[in-house]
Amino acid sequence: MNDILTANRVSKQYILGMQQVPVLHEIDLTVTKGEFISIMGPSGCGKSTLLYLLGGLDTPSSEKILVKGKNIADMSDKEKSVMRRNNIGFVFQFYNLVHNLTVRENILLPIVMDGKRASDYKQKLDEILDIVGLTERADFTPCELSGGQQQRTAIARSLISDPELILADEPIGNLDSKSGTEIMELFRHINKEIGNTIVQVTHSHEAAKGT
Amino acid sequence: MAYNTACYSSLTMYSVCMSKKQLVNMLLWELLLSCISIGLVSIVSGFVLSEYYLSKAANGTGLVIDFQFGIVTMLVILAVAFIIHAITTAFPINRLKKLNVMEELRYE
């Protein structure tokens, strides 16, 4: 009953010209509440594809993915976007922040897009800014931040709607080793202290340690 | 530049919190609001500049220019602003409809 995410025989293939290119073949995966899982493998093996399928950003070619018991394949685009706002936090390698919004506005984006009042989340926002260490940078735009700080902003955005599951695609792939270590410490802290379940895709054995 | 920014922001919004339909609606609202605001600014500034500055400057040199503003002129200005914005909005919307999230996120 503690399963947050279940993937049953998930396959994915792309069509290139006249050819079908298989990327994933009958993957089974179960993620239980509170876990911190690392998906590792060589480049091009389909790690990111699997993560995007799990988060409803792409559609599997066969079988099903259940997020909290709901099959993603049966959801409309609108239902998937609601799920991404409320149940899943995404962290990307290239941060995916809106450049003309401040750190504070970027973090509140899923809340505002969900039709909630940003003012109701002021205390939670302050707590999250404190956790990710960006209280002093809350009114800066992404261009004024380092890579590590931008990734912290993306992590804060993934936490604002209190999702049970965070999906991270190469979260330290674009960072220097010091910033990368800090980001991984932050993820471990979030997993242990806040209790969010985390699934990350990574090349780095260092990043996968302790997951 | 504006096109790339619109596409990048749309991708970001889609990946974390919005559906494609919401994004298209957002771009259409931006189109409507920006063409109304640009049309109004153009009409008001055109009126003020011609009536108070150009006329006086022309009068100073002995020329008499009688600027006239009709409702048709204003509607033409609004229509031109709308057409220009519609064209610049059509490209991001078209790209959004064909968006391959996987490719865009991976090679961003």
pLDDT tens for each residue of A107-122: 999 999 999 999 999 9
pLDDT of residue B38: 83
The pTM for the full model equals 0.83
- Kindly give the interhelix angle for B20-48 and A77-86, rounded to the nearest 10 degrees: 90
A126: domain CATH number is: 3.40.50.300
**Facing B21 at nearest CB: one of A77, A94, A97:** A77
* Angstrom distances, CA of residue A166 to CA of A8, A71, A198, B6: 20, 18, 5, 26
Strands (DSSP E) contained in chain A are: 3-16, 19-32, 36-40, 62-67, 70-71, 88-91, 165-169, 197-202
Could you report the per-residue pLDDT of A42-96, keeping only the tens digit for each? 888 889 999 999 998 888 887 778 887 888 888 998 999 999 999 999 999 989 9
Nearest-Cα distance to chain A for B22, in Å, is: 8
Report CA dihedral (A82, A84, A89, A93) to the nearest 10 degrees. Answer: -150
Provide the domain count of chain B: 1
Residue A170's domain comprises 3-208
Nearest-Cα distance to chain A for B26, in Å, is: 11
Residue B24's domain comprises 2-106
Residue B58 pLDDT > 70, yes or no?
Answer: yes
Touching check for A193 and chain B: CB below 8 Å? no
Q: Which two tokens stand for residue B41?
A: 């600014």
Touching check for A174 and chain B: CB below 8 Å? no
Report CA dihedral (B7, B12, B13, B18) to the nearest 10 degrees. Answer: 100
Touching check for B25 and chain A: CB below 8 Å? no
Q: pLDDT-derived band of residue A36, with 50, 70 and 90 as boundaries?
A: very high
More confident residue, B66 or B12: B12
Tell me which chain B residue has its CA closest to the CA of residue A82.
Answer: B17
pLDDT of residue A209: 76
Touching check for A52 and chain B: CB below 8 Å? yes
Nearest-Cα distance to chain A for B69, in Å, is: 38
ipTM of the complex: 0.80
Could you report the per-residue pLDDT of B4-50, keeping only the tens digit for each? 676 778 888 888 888 888 888 888 898 888 888 888 888 888 888 88
* Angstrom distances, CA of residue B55 to CA of B44, B69, B71, B76: 16, 14, 20, 23
Q: pLDDT-derived band of residue B1, with 50, 70 and 90 as boundaries?
A: very low
Q: pLDDT-derived band of residue A103, with 50, 70 and 90 as boundaries?
A: very high
Touching check for B26 and chain A: CB below 8 Å? no
Provide the domain count of chain A: 1
